[in-house]
Amino acid sequence: MSGLLVDADAIRALAEILTDTGLTEIEIAEKDSRIRVARAPASVQAVAAPVAAPAPVAAPAAAPVPAAPADLSRHPGAVNSPMVGVAYLTPDPSSPPFVSEGQIVSAGQTLLLIEAMKTFNQIKAPKSGTVKTLLVASGDPVEFGQPLAIIE
């Protein structure tokens, strides 16, 4: 093995942070070393480990199979997260939300905040329309490219 030093405790701590926050990867870099811990999203893990079910004795009537959820990040009205962080729907805990479902918004209007590295970043409406759906709640961790809202 090369001269690579591995800090197993640091890797375990980062893996625990991934589990606690729901993130899929985290990386820490210092000078000429870095540690990156990544895991597959829960939906990928569920598909990767199928469970075999015993065959039924009598074939019951087939139940309708729900369609797989659509990839909302590709929806034409999707407002996707430009960064990893924590979403907040209000400017502070005692204030009303920036927007609510069904509300008409104009291009450039603040929809929510994403806090990243102790900086609050305004996420603005890319176009005018009606907020069809808010896909996050205050305090939810968000990832890059994750859909936050749908504006139609």
- Residue 126, domain member (yes or no): yes
CA 124/CA 113 separation, integer angstroms: 9
Judge residue 151's burial from the number of C-beta atoms within 10 Å of its C-beta, 0-12 exposed, 13-18 middle, 19 or more buried. Answer: buried
* Residues 43 and 80 reside in one and the same domain: no
pLDDT, mean over the chain: 78
Q: What is the pLDDT of residues 66-101, one digit of tens each?
A: 544 567 777 888 999 999 999 999 999 899 999 999
| pLDDT single digits (tens) 10-66 | 777 777 776 777 777 777 777 666 777 776 654 444 444 444 555 555 555 555 545
Mean pLDDT of 139-150: 94
Task: State residue 63's pLDDT score.
Answer: 53
Residue 8 CB partners (closer than 8 Å, separation 6+) = none
Number of domains in the chain: 2
- Are 36 and 86 contained in the same domain? no
Residues 6+ apart with CB under 8 A from 147: 72, 73, 75, 78, 79, 80, 81, 135
Whether residue 132 contacts residue 79, with contact meaning beta carbons closer than 8 Å, is answered with: no
Query: Could you tell me if 92 and 25 lie in one domain?
Result: no
- Specify if 100 maps to a domain: yes
Give me the domain span that covers residue 39. Answer: 8-47
Residue 31 is assigned to a structural domain of this protein: yes
112 neighbors 142 (Cβ within 8 angstroms): no
For residues 82 and 41, state if they share a domain: no
